[in-house]
Every structure is written in structure tokens, then in C-alpha cells.
Amino acid sequence: MMKVISLVNQKGGCGKTTTAVNLAYAFAKRGNRTLLIDLDPQAHATFSLGITPNLTTADLLEHVIENRPFNPKEFFVWRKDDLSLLPASIGLSALENTINRQNNKLEILTKMLMNIDAHFDYCIIDCPPNLGALTLNALVASSYSVVPLGICELSLRGVENLNSILSMLFEHRKKAPYILYLITQVDRRFRYSENFYNKVKEQFRDQLLSTAIRTNIHLREAAAFGKSVFEYRSDSRGAQDYKQLAQEIESITQRPSLVQLCLKGMGHNEVYVVGEFNEWRKHRNFQLKKVDDGTWSISLPLKRGTYRYKFIVDNEWINDPSNSLQENDAFGGKNSILFVR
């Protein structure tokens, strides 16, 4: 299955588009079939790769909204053997209003990606610098989100809002992307850079990527010439950093995903989860912990795939009432279905 990674930050100028473009190119250089989606109406990623598009992300999303058949390959711009771009245009601004009027307004992009999943190993989404409908669609579709943080206190201000949005997504959908924080624009010559890095490390701990992107004029020059830094100056610090970043993120995305399951209900004594991931056996390793008086929770390390499962509540087998994805079981009941990307 394709791994979907969104680049998100409400603040502009933090290296979001630079990271989207060069991370996608670095993935492709490592032999991964990679799709870069420009979801920003400003189309900076499209510009940064020197592309003047005919068909854009807005056109493809319109096909999805109107349930018109489409061939995804007609919309892709093939940048190199393993890298394709779905370019953007200002038309995405108008489309955002259309998306907000749809009943499934948060799942438009997910529906689109389902039609192209088999073509790629990675999908990188460059989001607009806000938490509007386009960004929310990207968060819903993503397994991981990378939040670039420039060496600036202002780059941290949007993190609290992002966390609130992610909490709401999990509350209503029982799914949210795993957040990774990336420090950009690091200049080790200045003490402020080092102090800021240490502060962020203390705040985000294991969610902070060990790779940091150093200041490098070749990153800006490459974008101005419509190239990735690998095409412009493959021996530069910028190319070295993004090569290392791709290696680190690839390693992270190959680990089993941590999937959180919750059950709400008062008066339970013990709750277990059983399913295809543990051969339907009740075991203490799969016992949910009581979070508060009405909530039980567990985090499961699961490889990508589709799993059927149930809860055992005080020896009674039930499906997950918060999961609408269900199918009939062999005993006249229902199994809940879990997709792990």
C-alpha cells in the first residue's frame, strides 16, 4: 500500500514546500515510486519544479466530486523515472468552497488516492499554509504528517491548533496521522539555533526527527531554477540533508504502525481486543487500559493491511460501536474492520 505523508504548517516560510519537493525527489532517487501532490493554490511546489501544467489537482478533484471516471495518469507530470507530480493552480481556491459543501467533504482526497494507490510507494502532499478544507483532506488521507519548524518561535504557534484538529479527527474518526517534527533553517554558528533545537527536542521528544535541515543557499537557488536541489547541486549540504531525511523517514514508515483503539462505556470490569492480528485469542497483552471512568484504550503495533476484530467486554464479544466499517461474521454477528496504512 502507498504511504501518504503530508507536509503541514500554518506558518509560511518554514521550508514546507522545499521539504515536500526535495523529500519526494530523494525518495525517488532511492528507487521508490513517488507521487508529489501540490495541494496549495499558490502552486509553489509546481513552480519549484519548473512545471507549467495543463491539468491540475483541482481538475482531478472535480472529477472525484462529480463521480466522473478518470485516468489518473493523464493528470500526472512525469518528472523522472520514479517521480511524478500532480501540479496545482489557483483553481484550488475556488474548489475549496465546493469541497465544503459536500457531505463527505473530508474524504474527497482519500477517495482520489484510492484510485492511484497501486501506482506508487509514497505520496507526498504539500499543503497550503492553513487548516482549511484542503489541509483537512490531506490529514485524513495521511498516515504520517511532517511539520517543518523554522528556527523561529512563530513556527511553534500553529502546533497547538494542529494538535486540536488532530484530536478532533481522532475523536470522530478514530484515526489521525502520526506527527513528525522537522527542524529547518538551522545555522549552528548561532547559539539561538542550538537553544531552539534543544527546546523543541524537549517538547516533542521521539516525534522530532533526528535529521535537521541546515541553511543552504542552494536550496533557494534550485527552486528559482525550477529544479530539485539534487538536480541543481547534488554535492550541496541541502542535498545531503534531504538524502538523510528520506532515509530516516523511510525507516520510520517501514516500522509497524501504532493503532489506537478505544471503547467508551461505564461499569465494565475488563476489556480485551481480539482479531486477526492475535488469532482471535484473549491475552493480557491485548487488554485495554482504563483511561477514565468511561473510556478504555489500547495502542497496537500493526503492519499495514486489513484486519477484522472485536472487543471482549466482561466475556461478551461485541463489535466496535465507534467503527462504521463492519461485515457479517460466521455467527450472525458483526466484525469490525480496521485498515492500517
Cα-Cα-Cα-Cα dihedral sign, residues 131, 135, 139, 145: negative
Lowest mean pLDDT among 117-121, 243-247, 320-324, 337-341: 337-341
Distances from the Cα of 38 to the Cα of 113, 115, 136, 234, 236, angstroms: 14, 17, 14, 23, 25
Alpha helices in 36-178 (DSSP H): 44-48, 57-65, 91-100, 108-114, 133-141, 157-173
Question: Residue 182 in contact with residue 215, Cβ under 8 Å?
Answer: no
Tens digit of pLDDT for each residue in 152-168?
887 787 788 888 888 78
Lowest mean pLDDT among 9-13, 56-60, 316-320: 9-13
pLDDT band at 73 (very low <50, low <70, confident <90, very high): confident
Tens digit of pLDDT for each residue in 130-149?
999 999 999 999 989 999 99
Predicted TM-score of the model (pTM): 0.77
Rounded to the nearest 5°, which phi and psi values hold at 39? Answer: -105, 10
Tell me the DSSP string of 222-289: HHHTT--HHHH-TTSHHHHHHHHHHHHHHHHHTSPEEEEEEEE-SS-S-EEEEETTTTT---GGGBPE
Question: Residue 45 in contact with residue 85, Cβ under 8 Å?
Answer: yes
Cα-Cα-Cα-Cα dihedral sign, residues 82, 60, 22, 5: negative
What is the pLDDT, as a whole number, of residue 174? 62
Question: Residue 149 in contact with residue 200, Cβ under 8 Å?
Answer: yes
3-state SS of 167-184? HHHHHHHCCCCEEEEEEE
State the average pLDDT for the chain: 91
How far, in Å, CA of 189 to CA of 186, rounded?
A: 9
For 45-64, what is the mean pLDDT?
94
Check whether 193 has a pLDDT greater than 90.
no
For 124-129, what is the mean pLDDT?
96
pLDDT band at 275 (very low <50, low <70, confident <90, very high): very high
Question: Residue 22 in contact with residue 111, Cβ under 8 Å?
Answer: no
User: Which structural domains are found in the chain, ordered by start?
Assistant: 3-253 (3.40.50.300), 257-340 (2.60.40.10)
What is the pLDDT, as a whole number, of residue 194? 83
Q: Hey, which residues does 62 pair with through a beta bridge?
A: none
Number of CB atoms found within 10 A of residue 180's CB: 20
Check whether 48 has a pLDDT greater than 80.
yes
What is the pLDDT, as a whole number, of residue 189? 81
Provide, rounded to the nearest whole percent, the portion of the chain with pLDDT above 70.
99
Lowest mean pLDDT among 5-19, 65-79, 248-262: 248-262
What is the pLDDT, as a whole number, of residue 10? 85
- Return the higher-pLDDT residue of 175 and 294: 294
Check whether 266 has a pLDDT greater than 90.
no
For 236-256, what is the mean pLDDT?
94
Q: What is the Cα 78 distance to its own chain's centre? A: 22
